[in-house]
Amino acid sequence: MVGEAAAECGGGVNAGADGANCVDDAECDGGLCFSEDLTGFPGGMCTEDCTIANACTAAGSSCVNLFDNGQLHCLRDCDPASAGSCGSPATLSCFDIGGSPQGGLCI
């Protein structure tokens, strides 16, 4: 997994938004679910495909190469120095990695 430093998360996120829990693609606004059974992300995680030219449709998300495979996906931005900056679900943590204007991304 990418990143090194993680901060605990709390608060809330709309169902279907980038970072929300999911089981299948139909539950996500961006049309893509990283389900727990396929990726190991606890509770699954909504995202969307993106390109640098085609920024994320969700405000507060950044387009990054999560798996170092050339495929870009949208992840919620967060501040790794601020506990709770990912909001909910509580299965998300804020990792100090590049690509985010706040310095971290929720995974």
- pLDDT per residue over 37-85, tens digit each? 998 888 999 999 998 766 888 888 888 887 777 888 898 899 988 888 8
pTM listed for this prediction: 0.75
- pLDDT per residue over 19-31, tens digit each? 889 999 999 999 9
> Is residue 6 predicted with pLDDT exceeding 60?
no
pLDDT band at 36 (very low <50, low <70, confident <90, very high): very high
Q: How far apart are CA 71 and CA 11, in angstroms?
A: 29
Q: Are 18 and 56 in contact (CB under 8 A)?
A: yes
26 Cβ contact partners less than 8 Å away, ≥ 6 residues apart:
none
